[in-house]
Chains A and B, each alone.
Chain A
Amino acid sequence: MAKKFKITICSGTTCYVLGGAHLMMLAEALPADLKDQVEIIDSNCIKACQYENALPPFVQINDYLMAQASVAKVVEYLRKH
């Protein structure tokens, strides 16, 4: 069965160094009730960093591109949707 959320964590160098490293803990940090609703993908640069004034790290949740992502922000987003 397809999961409700497809989460792509960008671990290109720009994102990874500027805060993305901590997103690698997302799987562990997800509350139990959300765990089986998400599929987490670890991806190379998703090219969002190449825009002027981009705010890495980036996470793509289904169609939504989250800038300055953090574990807490991702969890909050999942709760609201």
Chain B
Amino acid sequence: MTMNYINNASLLKRQLVVRFARLMFAGELKNKIDLLPLHQAPRNSEAVRCCVHHDRAVIRYRLIALLGFAIENEKPDDEARTLSSYVEEAEARGLERMAGSALTVIDEACSACIRANYRVTNACRGCVARPCMMNCPKNCISFENGQAHIDEKACISCGICAKVCPYHSIVFQPIPCEQACPVNAIVQDKNGKQDIIAEKCINCGKCLQACPFGAIMERSEIYEILRAITNPAEATVALIAPSIVGQFNTSLGKLVTALRKLGFDHVVEVAWGADLAAQKETAELIERLEHGQTCMTSSCCPAYVDAVNKHISNIKPLVSDTLSPMQYAGEWAGQQWPGARRVFVGPCIAKRAEAKASPHIENTLTYEELGSVFIAAGVDVAECEESRADLEATSVGRKFAVSGGVSTAIKNAASAAGHNVTDKVIDGLDAKSLAMLKAIEKVVKPGTFVEVMSCEGGCINGPGVISNPTVARRFLEKMLQEHP
């Protein structure tokens, strides 16, 4: 499993969100935001990058992304702009949704990772045979001080030199974000910095998890959300995704209370929408199979749906038309509390893009962001009382958080209706699984339901989670045992 291992870049980001949220709760964001880079990287501290000034420059961009702006849109003179002027702009933006991609790259943080993927290590003995030099199709290997040297500008990363070196002294070095991207949507520009191609990007967030410099940021909606929950005149609903169980090492009931303490007026379990989606999807599957369709795939993961639209559109007719659990839950909340701001709380960045195109959800917040907001508000989840959500779900919908949950639900519902369906789970998107999906009709038996999750392991391993997926899964299983 691509691991959600402990990572200093993401911890620093969480600390920054805590500082940001503290200022918002104190009503001092506009006055004090320009001090945040100084507080996060004080003068006498040890710099993470070359010096504190560079650290501060990066922090400044992180704050711009936290305010929801795309860093790519920065004009040359904007470098001199104050952060408080960005706050003013965000304020004026009002309720409009932010246009453009959900992710943004901080050039200043991107270390412009190596251009050539192959590198000569010190193990090179400068042997007489020199097979690397002899076999390089681009003639880009020369010898300096008795060791091979690769001309990075000429290298095409074919890997022949690494294969032929008798000492294995040439190593492959991937560019982490590029390697993580399942659809080749992130590429180096002419300066060696990474750019995301919006027409290809499916907002899966894998590059963001992979970058060791934390150079890829989501364009957050935290500003809008905090402004709404601290405004008593504005009604807000938190729609919590099934994978929230296990994110705070505590029960669902305590989390519900904690969300209310933050200022959300209502709390809805998106797993209720998953219950509904499972029913609708089963009926749809049975009908489609009766009409002779070979198989149908799930539609709840927006990164997958986007991948179909942008990269394997030949299988579009096979994707279920059922809305995602988030949208059903949002629709319900809209009927229940007209005009309330509906905030999806989940692990996912692709959901942010889905929400933008949906009439049923206004904003999205990740678990990481929520965690930082709890800290800033001084809300300790484990110490809250238990309370119940305004809308609760069954264990069927709650299992949507882990891979296999959707297909199990549908297989069971179909068999209860007297239909035998097989299921196949595509657990994680990468180039290989996308190629398989492209030809899915030839791969599976007729009568199959195909569940596809962009994140390996399911949403509990989404890009915005706090808990290690193993721990979260353990928690979810325990909860399902106690509340079957």
Residues of A within 8 A of B (CB): 11-14, 16-19, 21-22, 24-25, 42, 44-45, 70
- Which residue of chain A lies nearest to B471 when distances are taken between CB atoms in the complex? A24
Query: Interface digits, B241-279 against A, CB 8 Å rule (1 contact, 0 not)?
Result: 000000011100000000000000000000000000000
Could you tell me the dominant secondary structure of chain B's interface residues?
helix
Contact call B249/A11, Cβ cutoff below 8 A:
yes
- Cβ–Cβ contact A45 & B382, under 8 A: yes
Nearest-CB residue, chain A, relative to B377: A13
B110 in the interface (beta carbon within 8 A): no
- CB contact between A14 and one of B5, B11, B375 (< 8 Å): that residue: B375
Q: Flag whether B383 is at the interface (Cβ < 8 A).
A: yes
Residue on B nearest A24 in the bound complex, by CB: B471
CB neighbours of A19 from chain B (8 A): 6, 11
Inter-chain CA distance A17–B464, complex, in Å, is 12
Q: Supply 12 further A-B pairs (C-beta < 8 A) apart from A18-B11, A44-B380.
A: A12-B380, A13-B382, A16-B466, A17-B248, A17-B371, A17-B372, A17-B374, A17-B466, A18-B375, A21-B249, A21-B471, A22-B468
Quick check: is B381 within 8 A (CB to CB) of the other chain? yes
**Residues of A close to B468: CB separation below 8 A:** 21-22, 24-25
B15 within 8 A of A: yes
With the chains together, A24 CA to B248 CA distance in Å? 11
Asked if B115 is an interface residue, CB under 8 A from chain A, the answer is no
Please give the distance in Å from B194's CB to the nearest CB on chain A. Answer: 27
User: What string of 1s and 0s marks CB contacts (under 8 Å) between B340-358 and chain A?
Assistant: 0000000000000000000
Contact A25 B470 (CB under 8 A): yes
Q: Does B408 contact A (CB under 8 A)?
A: no
22 A-B pairs with CB atoms under 8 Å apart are: A11-B250, A12-B380, A12-B382, A12-B383, A13-B248, A13-B374, A13-B375, A13-B381, A13-B382, A16-B248, A16-B466, A17-B368, A17-B372, A18-B15, A21-B466, A21-B468, A21-B471, A22-B6, A24-B468, A25-B468, A44-B380, A45-B383
Q: In the complex, how many angstroms separate the beta carbon of A75 from the nearest chain B beta carbon?
A: 14
**From residue A80, how far is it (CB to closest CB) to chain B in Å?**
21
The size bracket of the interface on B is: 20 to 34
Q: How distant is B418 from chain A, measured CB to nearest CB, in Å?
A: 43
What are the 9 closest A-B residue pairs judged by CB atoms, nearest first? A17-B371, A11-B249, A22-B6, A24-B471, A21-B467, A13-B380, A44-B382, A13-B374, A13-B381
How near does chain A come to B13, taking the closest CB pair, in angstroms?
A: 11
Chain A, Cβ-Cβ closest to B375: A14
Does B379 touch A at the CB level, under 8 Å? Answer: yes
Given the known interface contacts A13-B381, A44-B380, the answer about A18 and B471 at a Cβ–Cβ threshold of 8 Å is: no
**Chain B positions within 8 Å of A24 at CB level:** 249, 467-468, 471
Looking at the assembled complex, report how far the CB atom of B401 sits from the nearest CB atom of chain A, in whole angstroms. Answer: 16
Which chain A residues border B11 with CB–CB below 8 Å?
18-19
Docked CA distance A25–B471 (Å): 7
Asked if A16 meets B6 with Cβ closer than 8 Å, knowing A21-B466, A44-B380, the reply is no
A28 nearest CB neighbor, chain B only: B470
A49 nearest in chain B by CB position: B375
B6: which A residues are within 8 A, CB to CB? 19, 22, 70
Contacting residues, chain A, for B200 (C-beta < 8 A): none
B residues within 8 A CB of A12? 380, 382-383
Q: Which of B419-467 contact A (CB under 8 A)?
A: 466-467
B379 / chain A contacts, CB cutoff of 8 Å? 13
Is B280 in the interface zone, CB < 8 Å from A? no
Taken together as a complex, chains A and B put the C-alpha atoms of A16 and B14 apart, in Å, by: 12
Q: B461 CB to closest chain A CB, in angstroms?
A: 13
State A35–B383 Cα separation when bound (angstroms): 30
Contacts of A45 in B (CB 8 A): 380, 382-383
Chain A residues whose C-beta falls within 8 Å of the C-beta of B250 in the assembled complex: 11
From A13, A22, A44, A70, give the contact of B371 (CB < 8 A): A13
- Residues in B with CB closer than 8 Å to A70 are 6
Chain A residue numbers with a CB within 8 Å of B374 are 13, 17
CB distance from B453 to the nearest CB of A (A): 21
Q: A11-B249, A45-B380, A70-B6 are in contact. Are A16 and B471 (CB under 8 A)?
A: no
Measured CB to CB, the nearest residue on chain B to A17 is B371
- What are the residues of chain A within 8 A of B470 when measuring CB–CB? 25
